[in-house]
């Protein structure tokens, strides 16, 4: 893990007064950790954004330079506005280079799965961050996986990750990071029978014809029986 430097100043302004700092290109922040008393600082917005947006990423070990002191820290939290654009406040966690810490590492996927491209499969990205435990200088920048050769039914598991010595992944080894699922099959649903609906073409006519034929036959039989009987005198 690369180390970067960030100039900082102890901050006297607190509460609502810190809004003036942001207008001047400075972000309010706080430093805490290792039993030390927390204290407020301020850092230049541009310098901080350059660090977390660069190659080193959010897990960079930052050496905060405050006057004559240098404190190794990690970014613990970044508070943003409602739209998620402007940074409002930063929490820095002080670390010791000889002491293991727990932190989360981003999971990044590259390439296009042949199972998705050629077979219509669906890529399911189950895990986007993995928690690790290690010394600060061994924190991975990210976990990167190429999914190009994954077919339908293939997965990448936590156990497939190769990590440096001294890095422990705090997750179940059988957990699936990414999986290529088969496309859902379309079910043909039969149209429901609606009570009182008109019969299909031809169906009603044949039924009516049969009914009339039966009725006519009955009527003729009745006529024959009535004519065959002679009136009694």
Residue 191 in tokens: 């149209």
Contact 43, 52 (CB under 8 A): no
Answer whether residue 226 shows pLDDT above 70.
Answer: no
Rg of the Cα atoms in the chain: 38
Top pLDDT among 57 and 44 is at 44
Domain boundaries, the chain: 3-95, 103-181
pLDDT of residue 225: 46
Q: How far apart are CA 10 and CA 42, in angstroms?
A: 6
Q: How far apart are CA 124 and CA 160, in angstroms?
A: 17
Q: CATH fold of 3-95, please?
A: Ribosomal Protein L25; Chain P (2.40.240)
Residue 116: its H or E element: helix 114-117
pTM for this prediction: 0.68
Domain 103-181 class in CATH: mainly beta
Top pLDDT among 22 and 199 is at 22
Residue in 150, 160, 161 with CA at minimum distance from that of residue 123: 150
């Amino acid at each position: 893990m690369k180390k970067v430097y960030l100039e900082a100043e102890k901050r006297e302004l607190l509460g609502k007064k810190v809004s003036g700092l942001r207008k001047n290109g400075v972000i309010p922040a706080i430093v805490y950790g290792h039993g030390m008393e927390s204290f407020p600082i301020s850092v230049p917005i541009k310098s901080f954004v350059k660090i977390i947006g660069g190659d080193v990423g959010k897990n960079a070990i930052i050496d905060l330079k405050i006057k004559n002191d240098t404190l190794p820290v990690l970014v613990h939290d970044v508070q943003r506005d409602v739209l998620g654009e402007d940074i409002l406040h930063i929490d820095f966690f002080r670390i010791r280079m000889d002491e293991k810490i727990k932190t989360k590492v981003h999971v990044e996927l590259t390439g296009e799965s042949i199972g998705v491209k050629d077979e219509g499969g669906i890529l399911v990205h189950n895990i986007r961050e993995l928690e690790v435990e290690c010394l600060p200088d061994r924190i991975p920048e990210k976990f990167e996986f190429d999914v190009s050769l994954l077919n339908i039914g293939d997965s990448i598991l936590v156990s497939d990750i190769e990590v440096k010595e001294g890095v422990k992944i705090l997750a179940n080894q059988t957990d699936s990071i990414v999986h290529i699922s088969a496309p859902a099959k379309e079910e043909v649903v039969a149209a429901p029978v609606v009570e009182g609906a008109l019969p299909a073409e031809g169906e009603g006519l044949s039924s009516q014809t049969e009914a009339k034929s039966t009725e006519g036959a009955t009527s003729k039989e009745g006529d024959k029986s009535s004519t065959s009987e002679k009136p009694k005198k």
